[in-house]
Chains A and B, each alone.
Chain A
Amino acid sequence: MVIDTQGQRTEHAQNAIMEFLLINHPLDCPICDEAGECKLQEYAFLHSKGQSRFNEKKNHKDKRVELGPNVMFDGERCISCSRCIRFADEVAKQPVLTFVQRGDHVTIETFPGTTFDSPYSMNVNDICPVGALTSMDFRFASRVWEMSFTDSICPGCSRGCNIKVGVRNNEILRLEPRTNMHVNEYWMCDDARLTQYKFVNENRVSSPMIRKGNTLVSASWQDATAQAAELLKKFKPSEIMVVGSARATNEDNYLLAKFAHNTLKTNNIDFLRHVDNAFGDNFLRTNDRTPNAHGAAEVGVKHETSGVSMDHLAEKIKQRSIKALYVMDGDIAANSTLTAALSDLDCLIVHASNHNSTTERAHVVLASTTYAELEGTFTNMNKRVQYVQPAVATQDHERIEGMQMSRWDKFGASNDRWARGERRNCHQNWEIVQDIANAFGAGWHYSDSGSVFKDIANHVSAFSGMSYDLLQEYQGLTLGKAGSPEPKGVVYQSNYMKPN
């Protein structure tokens, strides 16, 4: 059999198909959120003459139907491909969507008395080839081409779904899944889409702070790290407890462990687990709400038999055998057993990205980056090490290699209102730890995350053979198996008009 994919007859047929598809499709691309990443727009652009011979009236259908709490349906734009129906049946396992009516009146509805509220419902917005299904959270927030999309990893749970972070004017506007057949396939959960960007944009600790009397005042990095070192020097090593973080990267935890063991010479080191037994399910979501619990333990932040563990920390603080706490996990006071105990400390030094109940009690607050501003690696529940890169600029770095930039990011100047998004004065956790360790005379000089990771790869056997280049190439490597990576998946980029 011979199939012609080019030539006059083929083009004629393609044009005819496009004409049919566009007969009842409204011409509201200027309003539609999908414009710029729309398959129909793409095909019309490539295979259509741009003229319609249809003189009759177009069909009118409902334009604003809420299929569920997060999904809005526009009947006119729908081309009846049934992808959303299949997704609800086969992936979300909530078969509530169906076609109703016939012919050109066909439309999509939920069965009476049901609503499409699956925890994965918003994936239909991505797979919808047109703008018929849109996200109620994002609706009209920005055009696609105005955002930059940087590859990242979702920090919402220990699955470590591969995501893309959509940024405009240094603010995250949306998250979308990135294909990785070994982790999340093509999907991510609604909870992450709705929550994992807000804390990057809002309520941030925008510079280091020192407690003066009852209030925290902004300070320079030199003053803050000097103050932290000075406070720590007042205590015996056994009186200091160092708390790592399962929300921080492998690099951060590795240097923190090195700081605790070699510089402070304390055995009191552990990290707090954030487990929510109601969150996990049998698809992507897991009960462990942190992205790097496995990695933190692997690089050295774990309870030692001679030291104090998280379980006994409250008790030890009460007994006054722990007097100073150095915490990398900004959310420690939210833990009910520790809330009261923290007030009994003589010294609380905390790395925090957001204001919370821990920063209220802290003596020194060191402004740290969120996952969207750092370069590093997370190790997920299946021991897969995955690479994270900055999507949002800080005062430290305006541009970093690998960070995607839209036209507006590239050419904005200080007198453009659309380029004045806040640059926060925050540092990566490992940089802060290095500064404090150097105040103790450790003499470390890691220049970037890559040099810390190189050190990890050389000293922690499970990481040997890994490098940022390899992690990016294979979209993550499994601990201890850097030499035999899983096969690279073919990532089908369906939106060639979408920027980066």
Chain B
Amino acid sequence: MRDVLLNLMLRALESGVADYVLTPSRGPGGTFPWILVNDVRLLDRAEPFPPVMYVQGAKALASFARSPFGGKVLAVMRPCEARAAVELSKLDQVTMQNVYFLTMDCPGAVPVKSYRNGDFTEPDPGEPESLRPLCRQCTHFTGAGDLFLALHGGPPVFRPVTGSGRELLETLGMETGEDRAEWVEWRDALLRHRKEARKRGMEDMRRSYTGLGGLARLYGGCISCRNCRTVCPICYCRLCFIDMKDRRSPASDHLHRSGERGGDRLPGGTLLFHMGRMAHMSLSCVSCGMCEDACPSDIPVGRMVSMVSEKTAAVFGYEAGRDTEEPLPLNTFEPDELHEYED
């Protein structure tokens, strides 16, 4: 399956359909850095199916494609990465112009920790135990981007999603017919299974961390490293609200609190940070799980944000990463809405 993807990258570059390919590669010491390939000889290094996620693909893309550029890019990434790019484009942090997104039936990823310890098996949707917790309950494992590689129900085959994906395949003289029945069957079965897993997972979270006490317990182990924010593809602010000088509490605050309650936990703002992040980015959360994978304290931050995201998005009938034309709910003024929350 790697060969099939490599072959398409090669043909895209040689035919001029794309001038550059953005793909994870095999780096030194078993790492998988993103590379922007122009020379076909470098494609040998490409590894479109790394077992782990080091840097979210949308973040790699946004690192150079903030504003329109010359030349066409074929970005090969996982569905959650392409969906994060959709969200970033709505926030003007990445341009979708001249970028083709090629995704695949995503096998999922294993936790970075297991990978580094050599304690892992190649990701396989059929063996969820090896996958990261959010991958186990991922319901958007296929069909993202402009086109994707269908791996199941027969030999690997490229499938168009958007008009430009179809065009790309046609230009390269490839079939764009119907989805094959075996693949549809595979997808539906896995989707059922994943929805079930997600439901169970969310029920677990709710049971374990209800109320302010529950949240305090959940985030109690937070060491304030802010890894979750750093690796998040959606967190794009230059300076996070939590780090702003005028949002930091003055000494009098802490002294007062200490006086009122007998003591004050320091540094403060742990819950505020996590709640603030949720308020700021949960609507655009694509449940990629980067935050949770990066947490040195093993806090299920990703599952929490993902659960909150599902609920907040449902209020607006919104789905992160679905469509570049779907406006961000918080940027859209509707004079007549949400009456159920009045009074």
A and B are partners in one complex rather than unrelated chains: no
B interface residues, Cβ below 8 angstroms from A: none
A interface residues, Cβ below 8 angstroms from B: none
